Amino acid sequence: MEEIKLPKNIQEMIEGKPYTVDDTGMSGSTVLIFDDEVLKIVRFRERNEAVIRMMRWLEEKNVPAPRVLAYEKEGEKEYLLMSKVPGKMSCDPYYMKRPEEMIKALADGMKLLWSVDISDCPRIMDLDVELKEARYRVENGLVDLENAEPETFAEGGFKDAAELLTWLEDHRPECEPVLSHGDYCLPNVLMEDGKFRGFIDLAEAGVGDKWRDIALGYRSLKHNADGTYGKTYPEIDPNRLFEELGIAPDWDKINYYILLDELF
């Protein structure tokens, strides 16, 4: 670990342990994976302290997610050492070839979140919060249009991020509050022995709309199957997610939250 300067107590906790570097996702963090622990290094943001409080609350609620083992701030960086949730990502080829197991696990994870009592949840991540952050990102040029869905800013779509933001502010759907993961995509839902095992990457977790996770879960399932990320899995039908959830898709809400995510 000589190449990465760490706070003393965290250095002592992981000294000499072998690790790999995980570059899955788009967060820009440095993530070191050990046998039983994960170390995440990010630039300091005040909101990250809210994430730590949320993680500790999730542990109290017995939600299968990483536990905080150590948390330190030094200079412009934060260091979070957490327990490692066992299992493979739902997008692992092993489970992509077993869509019935994988889609059921995605649905089981959502149902577990919805079952948690949110009356004392320490973090609200509703549309007021999301749209405020989206406006900040638009006004400060932080939106990456290159990673948007092809049709979002194409002919017949929105002119730019500002126009999309205005539309989102004018078309807010009614909220169905639940405990929301906030980034419910296949890499963040872990499986083991063909069943749901736990969540990772809960930086956006809090009380939010039920349909936010449904929308991002559906989109992630669709793109992991249609070749967006490389290999195609034509046997996967993303609409099976709604069958496993036992609900009819609300396409207006699904499309709304997919569009909202374009600004993040």
The catalytic site residues sit at 183
Residue 233 phi/psi, 5-degree rounding, is: -130, 80
* Sequence-separated (6 or more) residues with CB below 8 Å from residue 3: none
Q: Which two tokens stand for residue 101?
A: 């197991």
| 182-to-30, 65, 203 alpha-carbon distances in Å | 20, 14, 8
User: How far is C-alpha 40 from the geometric centre of its chain's CA atoms?
Assistant: 15
The residue behind tokens 């017995």 is 62
| 115-to-28, 51, 108, 177, 179 alpha-carbon distances in Å | 32, 20, 11, 11, 8
Q: Which two tokens stand for residue 66?
A: 């990483």
HEC states along 150-183?
CCCCCCCCCCCHHHHHHHHHHCCCCCCEEEECCC
Of 184, 239, 225, 183, give the one whose Cα is nearest residue 98: 225
